[in-house]
A and B are shown apart, each in its own frame.
Chain A
Amino acid sequence: MAAELVAGKTVVSTTINGEPLEIVCEPRESLLEVLRDTLHLTGAKEGCNNGNCGACNVILDGRLVNSCCVLAVEVKDGEITTIEGLATAEGLHPVQEAFLEGAALQCGICTPGFIVSTKALLDKNPNPTETEIRYWLAGNLCRCTGYDKIVRAVQAAAKNLSGGN
């Protein structure tokens, strides 16, 4: 279905965390603005609004993106996973567990971005080396932890997800 204009706004059909929905947005609005301000999915954070900090990371059609750098109209027919979509009724996602158990967060503002980024990494590369982890996470800034415990949490999550091998 072609996007239709409604009083200067566009209706965009998309899927967020498995739920199909229509977003009504202005063409200028970023995906991050729509997630936070329209849908009240405030787990994605705004740290810089120009793609440098990774706090707004979401997965769009299997690809890690900075939602501040994606226009909402671009997600038409897309599949989006946000931090809110990781835990289920059965409990936390193994990456979330690993961050908790490994004390891999302090203030927590960058944590949703790191966790989403880590999920995207492990989806592609289930057994990354420390160097691969560090370079993958280069787009996520953390000012509290010095990255040590984050890298270890990613290693622990990789191990847990691949059945302890």
Chain B
Amino acid sequence: MAVTRSEPIKTGDFDVIGTSPVRHDGVDKVTGRANYGADIHLPGMTHGLVLRSPHAHANIRSIDTSKAEALAGVVAVITGADFPDPGEHMTKAGEGGAQSIINKSADILARGKVHYQGHPVVAVAAKDLPTAEAALALIEVDYEVLPTVMTVQEAIADGAPIIMAELRTDEDGAELEGETNISEHSVSEEGDLGAGFAEADVIIEAEFNTSTVHQGFIEPMNGTAWWREDGTVDIWGSSQGHFGIRGEVSDLLLIPVSKVRVMAMEIGGGFGGKTTSYLEPLAAVLSRKSGRPVKMTMTREEVLKATGPTPGTWEKVKLGMRKDGKITAAHVILYFEAGGFPGSVLGAGVITALSPYALENQRVDGYEVLVNKSHTGAYRAPGATMSEYAVETVVEEACEKLGLDSMEVRLMNASKEGDMRVDGLPFPKMGTVETTQAIKDSDHWKTPLAPAAEPHLKRGRGLASGYWMNGGGMSSAQAIVNEDGTVTLREGSMDIGGTRTSIAMQLAETLGIAIEDVHPVVPNTDSIAFTGITGGSRTTYATGYAAHLAAEEVLEKMVAGMAQVWDVGKEDVDYENASFAAGEESATFKEAAALLDDANLLVTGSSSIAPNRPGPAIAVQLVDVEVDTETGKVEILRYTAAQDAGIAIYPPYVEGQIQGGVVQGIGWALNEEYWFDDDGRMRNSSLLDYRMPTAPDVPMIETIIVEVPNPGHPYGVRGVGEVPIVPPPAAIANAIYDAIGIRMRELPMSPARVVAALEKAKNGAG
């Protein structure tokens, strides 16, 4: 790991920030003691299962649950009729854009129609799982099976089967007439495209398709609920935001949020896929109906068929470049799958598509299209990986046509502070140039690619950039000074990968105490103020900001308290170098805590804020590949990932985010895809057939942390979690081109596709 800092954020070094303490929750996680949602056992607990649609598109003529209800050991059976009409408004939870609560309710449990294979139709709770399984087998559902649409091309074709008869296209704010599968068409434009293309010396036009992929977290969804006789309900689950789950359960069941308490369980991965509820509302209604605690967990097959995934896309790019490398204009058209209900990550795909570059003339059209797949969700930098894959390969192609070094073209066109993003917002300070330069200065870039050992093996090198805007949003933290001078930090962000520590480190830095003296906890939703989901790369930024402000309040109160203890004026007490002083008197932080305790002066500090200057993240990545031209297999030989982290609070975990994001991107690039049969049934719904990268598939991932401090945060933090997944598909596509001279315009670039492309090129040439 190398670190290059563009400038000092403040004079003097940090004491805690930038160090590598052992994470606070680490021991529980290496001993198996950490409690995840599925680890819950409650007295009298029953087990719930979901009957799911075997059809990808069908009307439900009737449901007969009588035999299931009569089965001994069954405690509750529910259908869509057990949910109230929630009234029309938008849900707030989730990174994948807002969703109509009416649609959410119909997605949770079908109302008269199933939109995808795996759509929940009935839920059952029974004394044990075998009884629940037997009950599902007794339920009779009469379906009228309908023709399906599985790709955006099919869904927008004339005469395509319509998934939602009531859907109308939102045409850039206006409602179009007539039935459609297109839920939205947005237009974002800056400058004059015609003039820009007229100025270009080369114009590249290309089309791309990317497959539906899954977030692939290792912990399946789960939800356990215990409804009390007084109308309150406790919920355990696996979520990136327990307040989001509280809000959805409240919205769906029309009960006050104060009656819903969601526990902060450990979460076994999410990557954007656990920003909304699936089982929790079902478990809650089953528990209300039965009076028993109900636990539900999904099988892997259910996870793959009926949660997430992230959209497959069809994309068109037209890009003009001048001989000197200046990009004169770019027009991107994105078609994103929404899945069976409207609401998708399209908006983020639009914003990010062209954002590594400063463009005077740019336009992005975004279409969101319903298809008979599970409602799509966010997946790490949602939307950006697909849209930037297309643009980043076209930029390389334009450079190749003009005989230009793409590294220099990237530096020349790099987006900088004040340049206009396609949606008309100026970019804040960000490290596009610095991060690109870091790759240019890397050992990897300077080391020529060694030739392959065999003639059928071809090697190539590829470069790509990624932009992600990062998120802010609401966060809460409370610091409690204990009598021995240790500090309990309560913070509202679900910890998905070390943020308890990265937030605690900011508190410790501000307080001037050791990280070991801070004990961070994530309380349930009754025990800390609202905090948004852990998503959008917002947690270390926003909740860390809240922790810093809570620490400042603590210091202010401790200074006042010490003034009282020492009987001096507040203005006479200083706090420097972790020590309070006034005249002859002095006390370390711990001594002060004891003195304040003796004086019955309890000190807490808290903050609930919504910081809105998260500062964009930039990733630039370089990859060497070896293509086996006989099998089509692409081997990753070397991978270097540079990223602007603002200031890296907790470097080993910044590095871990980069490495993890890169490997997910490698999976997306080379292997991962949903396969459907002609009737819209998923054919690869296991972790054997949905092929995510394993340890032997990848090399070590070299990282370069670039630090261009974010002026929108007291310690310069930028979110780091999402952007590293953006460049890999484009970088690998560019490397494959360098190896075999073929532009791969479809993801994944699986062995079969590579072999087919090689065959086509051979036949075309022959």
| Residues in chain A within 8 A of chain B (CB atoms) | 28, 36-37, 40-50, 52-53, 55, 82-84, 86-87, 92, 96, 99-103, 105-112, 115, 131, 133-135, 137-152
Contact = CB atoms under 8 A, between A and B. Distances in A.
Contact of A92 (B30, B269, B657): B30
A145 B659 contact: yes
A143 B692 contact: yes
B504 to A, nearest CB: 15
A37 to B, nearest CB: 8
B217 interface: yes
B300 A49 contact: yes
Contact of B660 (A44, A100, A135, A146): A146
A101 B22 contact: yes
Contacts, number: 179
A134 B696 contact: yes
B664 to A, nearest CB: 7
24 contacts: A28-B130, A36-B39, A37-B41, A41-B32, A47-B219, A47-B687, A52-B688, A55-B218, A84-B33, A96-B30, A100-B30, A103-B498, A107-B219, A107-B266, A107-B268, A108-B29, A108-B30, A133-B695, A138-B695, A144-B269, A144-B497, A145-B656, A146-B663, A147-B693
B496 A106 contact: yes
Task: List the 8 shortest-distance A-B pairs measured between CB atoms, nearest first.
Answer: A43-B32, A109-B268, A146-B663, A106-B497, A108-B29, A83-B32, A146-B659, A103-B652
Nearest to B300: A48
Contacts of B20: 103
B22 A138 contact: no
B578 interface: no
Interface in B143-179: none
B217 A100 contact: no
Interface size class of B (residues with CB under 8 A): 35 or more
Contacts of A50: 300, 686-688
A109 B218 contact: yes
Given A52-B687, A84-B32, A92-B27, A149 B652 contact: yes
A37 B128 CA distance: 11
A53 B219 CA distance: 10
A53 B178 CA distance: 47
B11 interface: no
A19 to B, nearest CB: 16
Given A146-B662, A151-B700, A108 B300 contact: no
A106 B660 contact: yes
B479 to A, nearest CB: 25
Nearest to A99: B30
Report which residue of B20, B269, B270, B496 has the largest number of chain A beta carbons within 10 angstroms of its beta carbon: B269
Given A45-B268, A143-B660, A146-B698, A53 B687 contact: yes
Interface in B643-675: 652-653, 655-657, 659-664
Nearest to A37: B41
Contact of A105 (B26, B270, B688): B26
Contacts of B197: none
Contacts of B726: none
A140 B701 CA distance: 18
A103 B656 contact: yes
A147 B695 contact: yes
Contacts of A82: 32
Nearest to A111: B29
The residue in B34, B218, B496 that gathers the most chain A C-beta atoms within 10 A of its C-beta is: B218
A42 B38 CA distance: 9
B31 A84 contact: yes
